[in-house]
């Protein structure tokens, strides 16, 4: 990863803001700038002179030392006191920091907000990042493909998720991008629901929304599959969602706003009188966080840019009846986009 | 769960502080007070008159409605604006809230810090909670027991975690309490390391630190097992860690501080000249969060109380040589404690 280049951009901000350095508390931002493990407690301080300091505790010291280069790693029991030794006028992630940490730091420091500066850098993925996101997605796809062969009537949602996650680990998932979602029948209406002991019955739909983390990068895909032939009504809804997704993907390119893209999906659903059952945003950026900027929803005025990786995931949720969602990850390119998801999108009947 | 009783304690605080109500942003605290799903975005507002309001978005509305009783559920796109309609002088979780949310709320509200009031309530587990923690731990134990039968030389860390998590899901895990840790050989020195494709070789140790979430409650257990007979040196270290753990457990009872308990484990390790390789705290409270108060470490002046559920997990990590950790969950009782972990603690040789 090109950490040096990323760090240079932070140094530019330090110069612009005329500050001594920047303290970074977000594990994702620290990983982006140094490669230090996401799961270790730490702060990062970038100094105006170009020096980097990771402040951590005894427990995480060795793991960090073994994973970063050209970074001073400081072992301490009080991260905040250590930061105070490194600068006086210090930039901070005002959208990320806790009120408590802010109050403690500001006792001795002049704190200058840097907003979403690093998150905005992260919106544009470089080639190395795109490669990892693709590899992450390949793991997710292979796991679903293998698992679908084994899904049968009479299995529970938990048994299905057990099989999927088993393959995810076998194929190399270092962890999960989020709590796997496997819901069946009328439970499909919960966009963020969790799998239970509920048994899959004949003619039910199953929403499978899954993703892994691989070398720090997340994948995210949703398919709705069926046990036994679905009714004509269900198939009609499925195709409406699929059509909404395809129209949105067709229009995803540099210059269009998240709001406009969201509207395109809603307009398709309107043709089927289903728009009132679509109760969430159309998608989100994805990278080191599974949900990150740019979000694709009715409030988003930001224009898409070449290098964004976003999900497109319209859904229709009719209480007590059915839920259907289809989700792909796409990379915004110079002239349009490239779908990073290689998985059957026609209704899969098991 | 006795939500009404818990809510009454919050109302008492509202009266004491002479405020209009309290806004709660921590998903764990909201779950504790209402049972609303942990994975949904929301704020909770408890009003002086005893009314409860959950403020959520359209996406999570149905799932929350279907899971709470006697709570007004408000659907909005702006949680902060909704809170402002409900009170003027409002308590808030100053240890939990983000700086950003604080700044937004304080534009129109008088904000009164409530510190760790709810977290302190949560330190004392009631019978229903203890039952769930035990059930959560049974899932973890059964999963490890089944998996150990299948671990062989030549498998990777990821293959082992695949098997363990498969059983966890089969036995009812709604999710994982934390990212499962399965490390082998010299990788065992990373207390929070992640499983990789590294192959298990003959005579290596394997640290397995795992836990599930069941009906909201976490479990947490560590065992260090061996592939092939470990050397005498390794066995000696194992028994030192085991002895340190047993001595700490023997002394865990109401009235002792976390610091004192930590010291007991360190003193045992000192007898073996191993104390410098023990680089983390002895344990932590566990419940809705896998890591919560009371923490058991060298800084903890708080005394243990009847109803605390804590882990006791000494470890020895010798860089380039070996890592060993043994962890149980115990319940502090009137006269001492009850070990909630039922799993072999003698060295397991596979």
* Inter-chain touch A169–B165, beta carbons under 8 Å: yes
pLDDT digits (tens, 9 = 90+) for A14-32: 999 999 999 999 999 999 9
How high is the ipTM of this complex?
Answer: 0.96
Cβ distance A304 to A292 under 8 Å?
A: no
pLDDT for the residue A18: 97
Q: How far is B169 from chain A (nearest CA, A)?
A: 5
Cβ distance B122 to B2 under 8 Å?
A: no
Structure-derived torsion over alpha carbons of residues B303, B304, B310, B312, reported in degrees to the nearest 10? 70
Q: Is A190 on the interface with B (CB under 8 A)?
A: yes
pLDDT for the residue A163: 98
Among B40, B73, B100, the strongest candidate for a mutation testing the A interface, having the largest count of A CBs within 10 A, is: B100
pLDDT digits (tens, 9 = 90+) for A187-203: 999 998 999 999 999 99
From chain A residues 18-47, the ones with a CB under 8 A of any chain B CB are: 37, 39-40
pLDDT for the residue B190: 94
Among A169, A177, A188, A323, the strongest candidate for a mutation testing the B interface, having the largest count of B CBs within 10 A, is: A169
pLDDT for the residue B120: 97
Q: Is B162 on the interface with A (CB under 8 A)?
A: yes
Average pLDDT of chain A to the nearest whole number: 97
Q: How far is A170 from chain B (nearest CA, A)?
A: 6
pLDDT for the residue A8: 97
**Chain B residues lying within 8 Å of A167, measured CB to CB:** 162
pLDDT for the residue A53: 98
User: What whole-number distance in Å separates Cα of residue A142 and Cα of residue A148?
Assistant: 10
Query: In the numeric block, which tokens belong to residue B293?
Result: 């108060």
**Chain B residues lying within 8 Å of A162, measured CB to CB:** 165-170
pLDDT for the residue A127: 97
Query: For chain B, how many residues are written?
Result: 350
**Chain A residues lying within 8 Å of B195, measured CB to CB:** 169, 174
CA distances from A170 to A133, A167, B158 (A): 18, 5, 6
Q: How far is B335 from chain A (nearest CA, A)?
A: 33
What radius of gyration do chain A's Cα atoms show?
22
Q: Is A99 on the interface with B (CB under 8 A)?
A: yes
Angle at A148 between CA A147 and CA A153, to 5 degrees: 110
Average pLDDT over residues A33-42: 96
CA closest to A39 among chain B residues: B192
User: What whole-number distance in Å separates Cα of residue B304 and Cα of residue B348?
Assistant: 32
Sheet holding B52-56, edge to edge: B72-75, B52-56, B42-47, B21-24, B89-92, B110-113
Cβ distance B61 to B73 under 8 Å?
A: yes
pLDDT for the residue B279: 95
CA closest to B180 among chain A residues: A175
Q: Is A170 on the interface with B (CB under 8 A)?
A: yes
pLDDT for the residue B208: 98
From chain A residues 205-224, the ones with a CB under 8 A of any chain B CB are: none
Average pLDDT over residues A78-98: 96
Q: Is B78 on the interface with A (CB under 8 A)?
A: no
Sign of the C-alpha dihedral, residues A238, A244, A250, A255?
Answer: negative
Query: pTM of this prediction?
Result: 0.96
User: What whole-number distance in Å separates Cα of residue A161 and Cα of residue A148?
Assistant: 11
pLDDT digits (tens, 9 = 90+) for A285-334: 999 999 999 999 999 999 999 999 999 999 999 999 999 999 999 999 99
Q: Which residues pair with A126 in a beta bridge?
A: none
User: What whole-number distance in Å separates Cα of residue A211 and Cα of residue A313?
Assistant: 14
pLDDT for the residue A312: 98
User: What whole-number distance in Å separates Cα of residue A59 and Cα of residue B278?
Assistant: 9
Query: In the numeric block, which tokens belong to residue A15?
Result: 């110069």
- pLDDT tens digit at each of 350 positions of chain B: 899 999 999 999 999 999 999 999 999 999 999 999 999 999 999 999 999 999 999 999 999 999 999 999 999 999 999 999 999 999 999 999 999 999 999 999 999 999 999 999 999 999 999 999 999 999 999 999 999 999 999 999 999 999 999 999 999 999 999 999 999 999 999 998 999 999 999 999 999 999 999 999 999 999 999 999 999 999 999 999 999 999 999 999 999 999 999 999 999 999 999 999 999 999 999 999 999 999 999 999 999 999 999 999 999 999 999 999 999 999 999 999 999 999 999 999 99
Cβ distance A36 to A74 under 8 Å?
A: no
Cβ distance A207 to A222 under 8 Å?
A: yes
pLDDT for the residue B32: 98
Q: What domains are defined for chain B?
A: 3-122 (3.40.350.10), 127-349 (3.90.230.10)
First to last CA, chain A: 42
Pairing mode of beta strands A348-349, A221-226: parallel
The secondary structure of A37-79 as a DSSP string is -TTS-EEEEEETTS-EEEEE-HHHHHHHHTT-SS-EEEE-S-H
CB-count burial class (<10 Å; 0-12, 13-18, 19+) for B288 = buried
Angle at B327 between CA B322 and CA B330, to 5 degrees: 165
* Inter-chain touch A179–B317, beta carbons under 8 Å: no
Alpha helices in B218-257 (DSSP H): 232-251
Q: Is B63 on the interface with A (CB under 8 A)?
A: yes
């Amino acid at each position: 990863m090109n950490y040096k280049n990323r760090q240079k951009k932070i140094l530019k901000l330090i110069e612009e803001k005329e500050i001594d350095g920047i303290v970074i508390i977000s594990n994702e931002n620290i990983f982006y700038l140094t490669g230090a493990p996401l799961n270790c407690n730490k702060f990062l301080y970038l100094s105006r002179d170009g020096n980097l300091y990771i402040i951590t505790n005894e427990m995480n010291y060795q793991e960090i030392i073994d994973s970063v280069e050209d970074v001073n790693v400081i072992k301490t029991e009080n991260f905040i006191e250590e930061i105070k030794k490194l600068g006086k006028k210090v930039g901070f992630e005002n959208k990320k920091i806790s009120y408590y940490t802010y109050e403690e730091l500001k006792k001795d420091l002049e704190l200058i907000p840097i907003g979403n500066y690093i998150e905005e850098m992260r919106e544009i993925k470089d080639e190395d990042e795109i490669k990892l996101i693709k590899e992450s997605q390949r793991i997710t796809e292979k796991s679903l493909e293998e698992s679908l062969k084994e899904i049968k009537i009479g299995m529970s949602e938990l048994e299905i998720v057990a099989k999927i996650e088993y393959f995810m680990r076998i194929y190399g998932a270092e962890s999960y991008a989020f709590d796997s979602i496997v819901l069946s029948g009328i439970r499909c209406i919960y966009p963020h629901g969790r799998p239970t002991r509920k048994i899959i019955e004949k003619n039910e739909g199953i929403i499978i929304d899954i993703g892994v983390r691989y070398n720090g990068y997340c994948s995210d895909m949703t398919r709705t599959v069926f046990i036994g032939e679905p009714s004509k009504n269900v198939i009609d809804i499925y195709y409406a969602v699929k059509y909404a997704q395809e129209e949105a993907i067709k229009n995803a390119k540099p210059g269009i706003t998240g709001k406009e893209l969201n509207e395109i999906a809603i307009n398709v659903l309107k043709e089927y009188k289903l728009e009132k059952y679509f109760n969430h945003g159309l998608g989100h950026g994805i990278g080191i966080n599974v949900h990150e900027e740019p979000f694709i929803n009715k409030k988003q005025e930001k224009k898409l840019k070449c290098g964004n990786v976003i999900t497109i995931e319209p859904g229709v949720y009719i209480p007590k009846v059915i839920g259907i969602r289809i989700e792909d990850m796409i990379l915004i390119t110079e002239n349009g986009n490239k779908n990073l998801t290689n998985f059957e999108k026609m209704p899969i009947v098991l």
